[in-house]
């Protein structure tokens, strides 16, 4: 499943709100790290999801080591702004003095896209970091804002560079960041979605906007929480005949799903059959939307099944194993 991403050093992950983007990002980082690759997972939000999913406490920009190969950090805008400013003025103390100046603070808050470009500049710093001549991180996985804002976010460096007409040290920095983002050989953009109408449409729109605005393709689409078929395809005609027979003998059996307890054996059997019919309906609906996604998005699409673990770290662990190609923990479809 990870093949489209294995040779990418920088992986941006986006998706419509509520599709499980942060969980998939955390699992993706864990899956890459489990291959022995030094992997850094970055967030760009005020409220950290990774601290809960990974069970750690952030300490500013400095990545926290979670295992031998997995690191994480949340890139808060003010910390990134100070870090970027420090690269252009002599020392953090001066940078802090500038940012704490009331007039300068009002100016920088009003100036468009300052936060975005300084966050992306900090990602560039991690991307270019080396240890003994080798990249410090084999992969950097970034949990981007929701897909409705992702293209604008990623296009900020190119826009700012154009405004500065490429002149000056800040323009040079924005050109470096834009070049990294637009390099499909080194950088991937993955979209997480649910097999539902709005997330699928937003993913299709994202893929189109990436080509139109950034001039680069979507690398990968990840369909999250896909309902698996409860039956083998070969068993479906038999099941359809059974369902028809149950409904003919006991009209209104679908309402049995909502009864507290079956009243007798025939009710119990009808409940089992109707439950499978409901699961088949969910599976068919998901496949219909996945077909829509495949027909409009020219990128590999991988499916992640629903997992019912109650804790976030357990879900991350199972999704990571699934991304890594281990499907042994999946239940097999029922056979009639």
**pLDDT category of residue 25 using cuts at 50, 70 and 90:** very high
pLDDT at 335: 45
Comparing 181 with 326, the larger pLDDT belongs to: 181
pLDDT digits (tens, 9 = 90+) for 241-288: 988 888 888 766 666 566 566 666 777 788 888 888 999 999 999 999
Taking residue 91's Cβ as centre, other Cβ atoms within 10 Å add up to: 9
pLDDT at 263: 67
Rounded to whole angstroms, how far apart are CA atoms 178 and 315? 34
Tell whether the model's pLDDT for residue 230 goes beyond 60. Answer: yes
Rounded to whole angstroms, how far apart are CA atoms 260 and 67? 46
CB contact set of 165 (below 8 Å; sequence gap of 6+): 171
| Cross-sheet strand order for the sheet of 220-226 | 64-65, 70-74, 39-43, 139-143, 10-15, 187-193, 220-226, 301-305
**pLDDT category of residue 112 using cuts at 50, 70 and 90:** low
**pLDDT category of residue 173 using cuts at 50, 70 and 90:** confident
Among 117, 115, 120, smallest CA distance to 78 is for 115
- 129-141: average pLDDT: 94
Whole-angstrom CA distances from 293 to 16, 77, 191, 225 are 14, 34, 12, 15
Beta-bridge partners for 177: none
Model pTM?
A: 0.86
**pLDDT category of residue 297 using cuts at 50, 70 and 90:** very high
Among 174, 181, 179, smallest CA distance to 157 is for 174
Tell whether the model's pLDDT for residue 330 goes beyond 60. Answer: no
């Amino acid at each position: 499943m990870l093949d489209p991403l294995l040779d990418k050093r920088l992986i941006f992950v986006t998706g419509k709100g509520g599709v499980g983007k942060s969980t998939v990002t955390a699992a993706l980082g864990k899956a890459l790290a489990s291959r022995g690759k030094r992997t850094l997972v970055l967030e760009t939000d005020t409220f950290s999801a990774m601290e809960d999913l990974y069970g750690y406490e952030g300490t500013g920009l400095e990545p926290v080591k979670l295992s031998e190969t997995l690191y994480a950090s949340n890139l808060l805008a003010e910390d990134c702004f100070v870090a970027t400013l420090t690269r252009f003025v002599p020392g953090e103390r001066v940078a802090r003095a500038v940012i704490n100046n009331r007039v300068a603070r009002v100016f920088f808050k009003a100036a468009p896209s300052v936060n975005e470009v300084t966050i992306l500049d900090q990602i560039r710093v991690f991307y270019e970091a080396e240890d003994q001549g080798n990249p410090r991180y084999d992969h950097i996985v970034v949990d981007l804002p929701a897909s409705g804002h992702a293209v604008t976010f990623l296009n900020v460096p190119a826009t700012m560079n154009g405004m500065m007409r490429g002149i000056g040290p800040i323009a040079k920095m924005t050109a470096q960041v834009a070049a990294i983002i637009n390099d499909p050989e080194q950088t991937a953009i993955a979209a997480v979605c649910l097999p539902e109408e709005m997330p699928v449409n937003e993913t299709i729109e994202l893929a189109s906007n990436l080509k139109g605005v950034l001039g680069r393709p979507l690398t990968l689409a990840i369909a999250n929480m896909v309902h698996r078929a409860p039956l083998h395809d070969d068993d479906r005609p038999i099941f359809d005949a059974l369902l028809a027979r149950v409904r003919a003998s006991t009209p209104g059996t679908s309402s049995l799903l909502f009864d507290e307890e079956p009243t007798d054996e025939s009710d119990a059997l009808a409940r089992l059959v109707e439950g499978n019919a409901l699961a088949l309906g969910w599976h068919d609906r998901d496949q219909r939307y996945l077909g829509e996604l495949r027909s409009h998005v020219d990128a590999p699409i991988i499916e992640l099944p629903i997992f019912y673990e109650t804790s976030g770290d357990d879900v991350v662990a199972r999704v990571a194993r699934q991304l890594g190609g281990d499907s042994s923990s999946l239940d097999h479809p029922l056979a009639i």
